[in-house]
Amino acid sequence: MVHVSMTVNGRNVSAEIDPRTLLVQFLRDTLRLTGTHVGCDTSQCGACTVHVDGAAIKSCTTLAISCNGSTVTTIEGLAKAGKLHPMQQAFQDNHGLQCGFCTPGMIMASVDMVNRCGPDLDEATIRHELEGNICRCTGYHNIVRSVAQGAREMGAAATAQAAE
């Protein structure tokens, strides 16, 4: 067993874990943060996407112990003070989800996309940048619109914040 501690959604957590514990297992089984999902074994579907130290990663392909000392954000930590993150709101506004299983990973990947690529995203960029996430329900049509809206609103929020 090894000792791991990290900050998850602003909360300091620590536990004794088997070194082979994946980050997603730590989140789901130890912390009971079940919003992060597992959809494949080969690191392709992206349902397990979370942010570690500000970057989107696949928590099924990351050891929990590798995140010792890191700051982790999951889908449960995205809304602040009861207000949905603009990307979450955009997915609802644009019917960017159906069964909801891929959605947490989609949203976390999309937030990361905006952080890397900026708020003005054209359709081709969005589709390309979603390469690491698979959805079986929506045909991506409304996900693309969701991400575009979420990106614009993240940009507007950042501008407004900078002006304050």
127 lies in the site for other proteins, by CB under 8 A: yes
**By the rule CB under 8 A, 73 interacts with other proteins:** no
Write the single-letter amino acid at 81.
Answer: A
CA-to-CA distance for 35 and 42, rounded, in angstroms? 20
Q: How far is the CB of 12 from other proteins (least distance, A)?
A: 20
Q: Is 119 in the site for other proteins (CB under 8 A)?
A: no
Angle, vertex CA 106, rays to CA 7 and CA 6, nearest 5: 10
What are the residues facing 90 on neighbouring strands?
Answer: none
Binding positions for other proteins, 85-104, rule CB under 8 A: 88, 91-93, 95, 97-104
Candidates 6, 121, 135, 154: give the one binding other proteins (CB under 8 A).
Answer: 135
Chosen residue from 20, 80, 161, 162 binding other proteins by CB under 8 A: 20
Write down the least CB distance from residue 56 to other proteins, Å: 5
Q: 21 to 50, contacts with other proteins by CB under 8 A?
A: 22, 28, 32-47, 49
66 binds other proteins (CB under 8 A): yes
